[in-house]
Structure 1
Amino acid sequence: MTQPPNQPPHGGYGSPQDPQQGAPQPPGQPPQMPGQPPQAPPPPAQTPPPPGQAPGTPPDAQPGYGYPQAPGPYNQPQQPGPYNQPGPYGQSQPGPYSQPGPYNQPGPYGQPQQPGPYGQPQYGYPPQQTYPGGPGAPGGAPGGRNPFKGKPGLVIAAAVAGLLLVGGTVWAVVGTGGGDDGKKKPEADKSTDPKPTASAPVNPGDGEGDGTAKPEDLNAGRQAGESKVLWYKEAPKVPGSGADAPGMWITDTVAVKAAYKEISGYTIEGGQPAWPTIKLPQKICAATQGKTSADKIIVAYKSGVSDSAKCNQVVEIDLTTGEKGWTEKLGEGALFDSALTINLSLVGDDTLVIGRSLSGVAYKASTGAEMFKIEKYGNACFPSAFTSGTKLLSVASCGAGTDTEHDEVKELDPATGKTKWTKKIPKGWKLARIYSLEPVVLYLTNEEKKQWNISTLKNGTDQVRSQVDVDEKFAPECGWAILDRALQGCLGVASDINTLYLPTEAKSGANEIVAINLETGKEKWRAKPTGDRTTLPLRVENGQLISYEPATYDQGGTVTSTPTGSGDHTPKKLLQNPAGTVKIERGFFSKAVDYVDGRFYISTTSLTSSSGQSKLMLAFGK
Structure 2
Amino acid sequence: MSYTPPSWSPPGQRPPGPGPRSRRDRGLTALAVGLTLLVVAVTGAGWYGYGPGAGDERTRAADAKESAAPESTAPPSTGAASPRPSLRTPRPVRAPSAQELAAARRPGEAAAWIAADPTDLPRRNIRVDGPWTVGGTVVQALYREVTAYRLSDGAEVWNLTLPTPVCEAPEHAAPDGRIVLALASSGSRRGARCDRFQMVDLRTGKAGWTKELLRDPARDTPAIIVHTAISGDTLAVAEGLGAAAFRVSDGSRLFTVPTENPGRCHPDRVAGGSRLLVSATCALGDDPRTRYSQLRALDPRTGAVRWRHRTPAGRRVERVISVDPVVYTSIDNERLTDDWRIVALGPRGELRRTIDPRPKGFEHCVNVGIGAGLQPCPGVVVGHGLVHVGGTDRAGAYDLATGKLLWGVRAHDGRTLTPVGFRSSRGTVVYESATPSRPGRTFVLGEGGAGKEETLMNHPAAAAEAEYSTMAGRVLQAGGRIVVMPSFVTGEDDRRQPRLVSFAPAPE
Common fold, TM-score beyond 0.5? yes
The Cα RMSD (Å) is 3.2
Q: Which SS does the other structure have where 2:182 is aligned?
A: strand
Distance 1:289 1:417, change over 3 A: same
358-367 vs 538-547, which moves further: 538-547
Q: CA deviation at 1:220?
A: 4.5
Separation (CA, whole Å) in 1 of partners of 2:412 and 2:11: 21
Q: CA deviation at 1:478?
A: 4.7
Asked whether 1:608 is paired with 2:490, we answer yes
Q: CA deviation at 1:380?
A: 2.5
Which residue of the partner structure matches residue 293 of structure 1?
A: 175
Which residue of the partner structure matches residue 68 of structure 1?
A: 16
Q: Which SS does the other structure have where 1:535 is aligned?
A: strand
Asked whether 1:474 is paired with 2:362, we answer yes
Q: Which SS does the other structure have where 1:148 is aligned?
A: helix
Which residue of the partner structure matches residue 458 of structure 2?
A: 576
Separation (CA, whole Å) in 1 of partners of 2:181 and 2:122: 20
Pick aligned residue for 1:102 from 15, 19, 32: 19
Q: CA deviation at 1:385?
A: 0.5
Which residue of the partner structure matches residue 459 of structure 1?
A: 347
Deviations 1:434-459 (A, max 9, x none): 23222222322224476433332221
Q: CA deviation at 1:496?
A: 1.5
Distance 1:183 1:442, change over 3 A: closer
Higher strand proportion, which one?
A: 2
581-590 vs 325-334, which moves further: 325-334
Separation (CA, whole Å) in 1 of partners of 2:493 and 2:392: 36
Say if 1:180 and 1:244, in contact at 8 Å, map to a contact too: no
Q: TM-score, normalised by structure 1?
A: 0.64
Amino acid at match of 1:591: G
Q: CA deviation at 1:577?
A: 0.9
Separation (CA, whole Å) in 2 of partners of 1:567 and 1:331: 49
Q: Percent sequence identity over matched residues?
A: 25
Say if 2:49 and 2:192, in contact at 8 Å, map to a contact too: no
Separation (CA, whole Å) in 2 of partners of 1:380 and 1:338: 23
Separation (CA, whole Å) in 2 of partners of 1:534 and 1:614: 19
| Correspondence 1:83-98 to 2 at 5 A | none
Separation (CA, whole Å) in 2 of partners of 1:406 and 1:335: 29
Say if 1:594 and 1:602, in contact at 8 Å, map to a contact too: yes
Q: Which SS does the other structure have where 2:309 is aligned?
A: strand
Say if 1:337 and 1:358, in contact at 8 Å, map to a contact too: no
Q: CA deviation at 1:398?
A: 2.0
How many residue pairs are counted as aligned between the two chains? 444
Amino acid at match of 1:547: V
Say if 1:153 and 1:400, in contact at 8 Å, map to a contact too: no
Distance 1:268 1:472, change over 3 A: closer
Q: CA deviation at 1:569?
A: 8.0
Unpaired runs of 5+ residues, structure 1, are 1-59, 70-100, 105-113, 115-126, 130-144, 156-178, 200-216
Separation (CA, whole Å) in 2 of partners of 1:274 and 1:319: 11
Separation (CA, whole Å) in 2 of partners of 1:364 and 1:150: 33
Which residue of the partner structure matches residue 490 of structure 1?
A: 377
Distance 1:427 1:327, change over 3 A: same
| Correspondence 1:210-609 to 2 at 5 A | 217-275=100-158, 277-306=159-188, 307-332=190-215, 339-347=223-231, 349-377=232-260, 378-402=262-286, 405-448=291-334, 451-461=339-349, 463-468=350-355, 471-475=359-363, 477-478=365-366, 480=368, 482-484=370-372, 486-503=373-390, 506=393, 511=394, 513-528=395-410, 533-543=415-425, 544-563=427-446, 570-589=452-471, 591-609=473-491
Which residue of the partner structure matches residue 76 of structure 2?
A: none
Q: CA deviation at 1:308?
A: 2.6
Distance 1:242 1:500, change over 3 A: closer
Separation (CA, whole Å) in 2 of partners of 1:434 and 1:62: 30
Distance 1:427 1:154, change over 3 A: farther
Say if 2:278 and 2:296, in contact at 8 Å, map to a contact too: yes
Deviations 1:352-408 (A, max 9, x none): 111212111211223322211114332432101111112222111123223563322
Separation (CA, whole Å) in 2 of partners of 1:184 and 1:451: 25
Separation (CA, whole Å) in 1 of partners of 2:169 and 2:130: 7
Separation (CA, whole Å) in 1 of partners of 2:193 and 2:307: 33
Q: Which SS does the other structure have where 1:615 is aligned?
A: coil
Say if 1:345 and 1:352, in contact at 8 Å, map to a contact too: yes
Higher helix proportion, which one?
A: 2
Separation (CA, whole Å) in 1 of partners of 2:97 and 2:420: 31
Distance 1:547 1:324, change over 3 A: same
Separation (CA, whole Å) in 1 of partners of 2:243 and 2:465: 42
Q: CA deviation at 1:180?
A: 6.2
Amino acid at match of 1:395: S
Q: TM-score, normalised by structure 2?
A: 0.78
Separation (CA, whole Å) in 2 of partners of 1:464 and 1:273: 46
Asked whether 1:196 is paired with 2:96, we answer yes
Say if 1:254 and 1:319, in contact at 8 Å, map to a contact too: no
Say if 1:535 and 1:547, in contact at 8 Å, map to a contact too: yes
Say if 2:186 and 2:192, in contact at 8 Å, map to a contact too: yes
Separation (CA, whole Å) in 2 of partners of 1:448 and 1:266: 43
Distance 1:472 1:338, change over 3 A: farther
Deviations 1:38-58 (A, max 9, x none): xxxxxxxxxxxxxxxxxxxxx
Amino acid at match of 1:274: V
